[in-house]
Chain A
Amino acid sequence: MIETLPELANVVLQGDTVTGSPALEPSAAAAIAVGLAAIATGYAQRGIGSAAVGAVAEDSDNLISGLIFTAIPETLIIIAFVTIFVV
């Protein structure tokens, strides 16, 4: 794969000179940023969520704090959402 990289770069550069537009539009880059942030949020919530379910199973009084802690990683995706309005 590495051997084909220079060739691929050439093709990309040529395309650039022909059409005059970048390989990745700003809005596409923003979409990738938001998507990665969503994956990160999911990963963080996986651990917190399973711990919260465990705590609630032992004592249902923990439901509220469990919910709050599970929701905290949502801030990641909310902040990433800003990217869309910036570009």
Chain B
Amino acid sequence: MSATGSSNPEYVNARVRSRRAALFAEEDYRKLVRMGTGEIARYMEETEYSAEMNELGARHSGVDLIEYALNQNLAKHFNDLLEWADGPLHEMIANYLRKFDAWNAKTAIRGVYSGASADDIKTDYIRAGEFGDDLLDQLAAANSVEEIVELLSDTIFEEGLADAYEEYEESDVLVPLENTMDKTFYEHLLDVADGRQAPNTPRGLYVEVLQAEIDFRNIRNALRLSRTGTDLDPDEYYIEGGKLFDEGELQQLVGSFDDLVEHIRESPYGDELSAALTDLNEADSLVSFEQALEAALLEYSDTLSYTYPVSICSALSYILAKEREIENIRAIARGREVGLSVEEIETEMVVL
């Protein structure tokens, strides 16, 4: 409920585990993949998502309804998490949920840039982060990108945003602004945990999961840059805080795809990713490798939540699993809408 007092991991763990068990399992996905969008909506009405589906059913329909219901459900669950957690635990969870602040800020910027109405922007928000409703409404009502940048100057995203805004004014593309915000989020991830925790303590393992997430993000960016062979500067996309790459190291590795793959294989993640890396060498697409990265992260956080039940780890693993579920259902719904085959949709999903 607040960041004061001591943590209450027992309570949070009990509630989170119960919700974790209610997430869709593999067989649910197998059913969903074979349904049309209408059927998916009806299926969702009978599960966890019924409240949101009923609430939004009057205003939206089809895939949009599914998507908004998913977002609203996600926000509800994550706000619950924040409400339960006390003390340092609350801080750590809130810190991770800033991901949605970054998402909301980007949504606002894109909306304002493309001239969407304030109401449209508000429906696209995922109200799960630290930003209050006031700030979000102000962001949506902003008339220019500049106004948004000013509104954000009181938040953690202020860092580097002014430079990015200048760049945006010169080139009129949103990429620098969005990159800066994502980078800020990831680089603040380790703030609460203060990087130098002893290994094999719950805190230390929490840091490890976050580092793994940052590393995987770096791997993904590096592979994409390397595969497309662009002449973009990899350092611009480099996120600090991970264990795998040092600043500057990325530059030379991106040049050669084989070196990069070899570097990943020799890293501590090599064992978990070796099968995916072999696939990657054979297949042309990065999609399955990226899904393997997601699955590895999910599995890793899961293991930790069993090793240290009475810590932040179980909450973190729930957050990751819930996010995955939302993305999986969205992938199915969108995939069915445009008429992808079952196999194609399955490659887009991450199921443990």
| Residues of A participating in the B interface, judged by any CB pair closer than 8 Å | 47-48, 50-55, 57-59
Contact = CB atoms under 8 A, between A and B. Distances in A.
Interface string B299-311: 0000000000010
A40 to B, nearest CB: 17
Interface stretch (B8-16, B90-98, B158-166, B325-333): B8-16
A78 to B, nearest CB: 23
Contact of A47 (B10, B15, B19, B84): B10
Contact of A58 (B8, B10, B14): B14
B18 interface: yes
B8 A50 contact: yes
A82 B79 CA distance: 48
Contacts of A58: 14-15, 18-19
B310 A47 contact: yes
B14 A54 contact: yes
B86 to A, nearest CB: 10
Interface string B8-45: 10111111001100000000000000000000000000
A54 B19 contact: no
Contacts of A57: 15
A82 to B, nearest CB: 29
Contacts of B18: 54-55, 58-59
12 contacts: A47-B10, A50-B8, A53-B11, A54-B12, A54-B13, A55-B14, A55-B15, A57-B15, A58-B14, A58-B15, A58-B18, A58-B19
Contacts of B8: 50
A45 B244 CA distance: 43
Contacts of B14: 50-55, 58
Nearest to B13: A51
A53 B310 CA distance: 15
A6 to B, nearest CB: 39
Interface centre among B8, B14, B84, B310 (most CB of A within 10 A): B14
Nearest to A57: B15
Nearest to A54: B14
A51 B13 CA distance: 7
Nearest to B84: A54
B310 A54 contact: no
Nearest to B14: A54
A48 B10 contact: yes
B19 A51 contact: no
Nearest first, the 8 A-B pairs at minimum CB distance are: A54-B14, A58-B18, A51-B10, A50-B11, A51-B14, A54-B11, A54-B15, A55-B14
Nearest to B22: A58
Contacts of B84: 54
B53 to A, nearest CB: 21
